[in-house]
Amino acid sequence: MKKAVASPQQEQTASIAQGLDTLSLEPGKVGARLRSVRRARRLTLAAVSERSGIALSTISKAERGDITLTYDKLAALAHALELDLSALFIRRAEATTLPIEPTFTPSGAQVIYDTQNYAYGMLATELSGKRMVPMRGRVHARKLEDFADYIRHAGEEFVFVLGGALQILFEDGRHFALKTGDSLYFDSAVGHVYLSRGKTDAEVLVCCVDAPGGRGPGAI
């Protein structure tokens, strides 16, 4: 029998999710975590909507696992719930202390949250309360129309292209073409989107940094 050959897309998905059978996250798992934290804090959907600026219907759909959320919405909900963003993806996170202990993430052990436009590979999820959110991911999106809106979140962002061709578009009209080895640092409050410009999905290393005072000392 002739052995089936994996498509480039299947190979890309496998490379980022290799060995992640128990760590790949379905939307329902993240939604259940959101609901659990919201209820533990005795907050209504309306209260979280007001705090985060996200439509109540969107939060409700996310809690049911009907939709996936972009990074800006995940970050807004984490702030509204006074929760470290990593805690949405893993339950057992150690509180950050000073000095921060080295936290090792083996190759292939990142927690994957896959959406229509991006696959987010969350790193150092064991630490909570950290100011940086490091991620390794893939960019599925090919055109601006793939997004409902530009992505905006308080803080700063750094992206390094590990493989493929990437284009970053900003809502003010600026745009940058990046190839393997290129990087860009920018104000993430300015609306932006990542687009793959090659035959395969671009692979990137991204680090988002909270704005000063963006998360209170009581965040878990």
Q: Domain with 64 in it: what CATH number?
A: 2.60.120.10
In a domain, 99, yes or no: yes
What's residue 215's pLDDT? Answer: 44
- Profile the chain (220 residues) by mean pLDDT over runs of 10 residues: 42 41 66 90 93 93 89 89 79 56 84 90 83 92 95 95 98 98 97 96 94 46
In a domain, 171, yes or no: yes
In a domain, 100, yes or no: yes
**The pTM is what?**
0.74
What's residue 210's pLDDT? Answer: 79
In a domain, 196, yes or no: yes
In a domain, 220, yes or no: no
Rounding to the nearest 10 degrees, give the CA dihedral for residues 126, 129, 74, 202.
-60
Rounded to the nearest 10 degrees, the angle between the axes of helix 71-80 and helix 56-64 is 100
What's residue 95's pLDDT? Answer: 52
- Domain hosting residue 194, numbered range: 10-209
What's residue 13's pLDDT? Answer: 41
In a domain, 155, yes or no: yes
What's residue 98's pLDDT? Answer: 59
**Tally of domains in the chain:** 1
What is the maximal distance between C-alpha atoms in the chain?
A: 61
